[in-house]
Amino acid sequence: MKQNLLKSIADLRFAIFILLVIASFSIIGTVIEQDQSIETYKVNYPLTNPVFGFLSWDLILKFGLDHVYRTSWFIGLIIIFGASLLTCTFLQQVPSLKIARRCQFFRTPQQFLRLKNVKKIDSIFFSKILFSIKQKNYSIFQQKNIIYCYKGLIGRIGPVIVHFSMILILLGTILTALTGFKAQEIVPKTETFHIQNVLTNGPLTIIPKASARVNDFWITYSKQKIVSQFYSDISILNANGNEIEQKTIYVNSPAKFNGLTYYQTDWNLIGIRIKNNANSVIQYPLSDISNNRDKIWLSWIPKTAELTDGYTLLVNNLQGYGSIYDKSGQFLGNVELNETSQVNSNLSFIDIISSTGLQIKADPGIPIIYSGFAFLMGSTLLSYVTYSQIWIVDEKQTIFIGGNTNRATFDFELEFLDIVKSKLV
């Protein structure tokens, strides 16, 4: 009963079925936004008008379709698929490899009838044919009047490596799903931060007590005044607050340290500093009123302590200039940093306080996944190695020679004819 169960798991049709199920749920995880807030799903998948007539937000949350790749049933499918590959490897691929290594002698001419490439030659050419086979890098084994030759045995290892590489990829995926996490931090320039705002994490995740400091943040613009790139200079700190490593990161160039990866993802303006005629520096907050096309921030700068009268300042860049409006929305003029306002000569704008958006991720399974893909690429190269076999039986002054191959049939036929013709040389 146990053997029948193992054979069922190792069956190719069962493995393909599980793989199709995994692929189907992976497609669902791609179509449905992952790891979003409940409000997002309520807006996009309402109960009153469900998508496709049945897909509503309560169904998504009930079955974990908002985090497909970390659900217990998805990980279970991966484990079943991995068990199928592992069972197939030991029950089918490894025995097949062992059989390929054995000497499979043909002892009678009748056995040649199942081969496509067969010739009958006078036995006086036996030594010439054997020499030609040796020149073509075949391994030769002989028992009296029968000979067995093969080459390209390494090509038979390819399927075993394919299974091994896929198991590595599955193990890496499970490890990341169980122990990985993703956090998002908005950090003002010069501030030190810890990992606090965790967006997603696995059931076995342990959030490290890591800290870092944002030394500087800046943006480069194109000639059209469009944001070209934004940069963050960060320092990784130890438990005592001392710098261990420092790096400038930007989009598509993260910093990696101790299993954590720091990505540059966003930026924001949080305040502006103004100096009055008493040389006092006052900091006012900036509120983000950005739309889908432009980033815009505004701040209210009061004239009086009652805050009932003042100016509205609009800023849409980090280059150090903005626009001033009165309380009725009338445009009054522009202002730059370190410049006294023409509207109110008592105010001087000295600094814009920016913050950087950093995403911190831990993917402990990534090295294993990359190793799996490396083995997979190696097995692809091995699959091009042709496994060829040649049998020879010397009986009654006649040589029966036949051959077979698992791929590149035409090339093998040319090689076989070349071996047979070697008797004429």
Domains and CATH numbers, the chain: 2-96 (no CATH), 103-152+386-424 (3.30.310), 179-267+357-363 (no CATH), 269-356 (no CATH)
> Do 273 and 350 contact (CB within 8 A), yes or no?
yes
Residue 341: what pLDDT? 66
> Do 411 and 386 contact (CB within 8 A), yes or no?
yes
Q: Is 220 exposed, middle or buried (0-12, 13-18, 19+ CB in 10 A)?
A: exposed
User: What is d(CA 352, CA 366) in angstroms, rounded to the nearest whole number?
Assistant: 39
User: What is d(CA 388, CA 133) in angstroms, rounded to the nearest whole number?
Assistant: 12
User: What is d(CA 349, CA 370) in angstroms, rounded to the nearest whole number?
Assistant: 51
User: What is d(CA 257, CA 12) in angstroms, rounded to the nearest whole number?
Assistant: 42
Residue 345: what pLDDT? 58
* C-alpha separations of 267 from 4, 211, 218, 230, 414 in Å: 59, 19, 9, 8, 66
Residue 419: what pLDDT? 87
Question: What are residue 370's phi and psi, to 5 degrees?
Answer: -65, -40
> Do 378 and 160 contact (CB within 8 A), yes or no?
no
User: What is d(CA 187, CA 251) in angstroms, rounded to the nearest whole number?
Assistant: 16
Cross-strand pairs, 119: 401
Q: What is the pLDDT along the chain (425 residues), one digit of tens a residue?
A: 667 777 788 888 888 999 999 999 999 989 898 888 888 899 889 888 888 888 889 999 998 898 898 899 999 999 999 999 888 888 888 887 777 777 788 888 888 888 888 988 887 788 888 889 999 999 899 888 899 999 988 888 888 888 899 999 999 999 999 999 999 999 998 899 999 999 888 889 999 988 999 999 988 888 777 778 889 999 999 988 899 999 999 988 999 998 999 999 988 888 888 887 667 888 888 888 887 677 888 888 887 777 777 888 888 877 777 888 888 888 888 887 777 766 665 678 888 888 999 999 999 999 999 999 999 998 888 888 888 999 999 887 888 999 999 888 899 999 999 888 876 55
Helix, strand or coil for residue 320? coil
Cross-strand pairs, 308: none
* C-alpha separations of 374 from 30, 42, 228, 404 in Å: 25, 42, 35, 31
Please list, in sequence order, all residues whose beta carbon lies within 8 angstroms of the beta carbon of residue 55, skipping any fewer than 6 positions away.
45
Q: Is 364 exposed, middle or buried (0-12, 13-18, 19+ CB in 10 A)?
A: middle
158-179 vs 72-88: helix crossing angle, rounded to 10: 160
Question: What are residue 76's phi and psi, to 5 degrees?
Answer: -60, -40
Cross-strand pairs, 195: none
Q: Which amino acid is at 332?
A: L
> Do 56 and 17 contact (CB within 8 A), yes or no?
no
